[in-house]
Structure 1
Amino acid sequence: MKNLIKLEELAMFLLSIYLFSLLDFAWWVFLLLILTPDIGMLGYLINPKVGAFTYNLFHHKGIALLILVFGWVAISEEILLTGIILFGHASMDRIFGYGLKFSDNFKHTHLGNL
């Protein structure tokens, strides 16, 4: 089952690449920004509860899709880009087993323990 989930996440990551290709940005922009959602880990410098909140804020696919749809409605490539990067990054993380965090510690995720 884990491999099936990883394949599903890979498909979503590839979808984010395709959606990015529809935008008018150079390819290096995707490569530059794809790791930026990890800025959410900085909350762990305060404590695990804040860290889990900030990490999950930047890695929640529902939030990414809301931003993406808002960018589409607002006809804003920058907002679309933000949603695509958040969505693609979350999918990429889940391929490697990093899920949404529980507030007790970084390694406790909705996909199990790291």
Structure 2
Amino acid sequence: MKNLLKLEELGQFMLSIILFNQLEYAWWVFIVCILMPDLSMIGYFTNTKIGAILYNLFHHKLIAITILSLGLWLQYSPLTLVGIILFGHAAMDRVFGFGLKFEDSFKNTHLGQIG
């Protein structure tokens, strides 16, 4: 089952690449931006609760889809780009086993323990 879920996430990551390709940005923009949502881990310098809240906010696919949809509806490509990057990053993280975080530990995720 775990491999099936990872394949599903890989498909979603590939979808983010396809969606990005529909925008008029150079490919280096995708490469530079795809790791930016991990800056949300800065909240862990405060404590695990704040860290988990910030991390989950930037890695929640419904938020990404909402931003992406709003960008498409408004025909505003920077907002569309943000939604695609958030969606693609969350999918990429889950391919590697990094899920949404619980407040007790960075390693405790909705996909199980990291490591």
> Is residue 2:90 matched to residue 1:62?
no
Distance in 1 (alpha carbons) for counterparts of 2:49 and 2:29: 32
**Cα deviation 1:34-76 (Å, max 9, x = unaligned):** 0000011000000000000000000000000000000011110
Unaligned runs of 5+ in 2: none
Distance in 2 (alpha carbons) for counterparts of 1:12 and 1:72: 18
**Cα deviation 1:11-54 (Å, max 9, x = unaligned):** 00000000000000000000000000001100000000000000
Q: Which runs of 4+ in 1 moved over 4 A?
A: none
Q: RMSD across aligned C-alpha pairs, in angstroms? A: 0.3
TM-score computed with the length of structure 2 as normaliser: 0.99
Shift of residue 80 of structure 1? Answer: 0.2
TM-score computed with the length of structure 1 as normaliser: 0.99
Unaligned runs of 5+ in 1: none
Distance in 2 (alpha carbons) for counterparts of 1:57 and 1:42: 13
Query: Number of paired residues?
Result: 114
- Secondary structure of the residue aligned to 2:101 is coil
* Structure with greater strand share of residues: 2
Distance in 2 (alpha carbons) for counterparts of 1:74 and 1:43: 31
User: Percent of aligned positions with the same letter in both sequences?
Assistant: 61
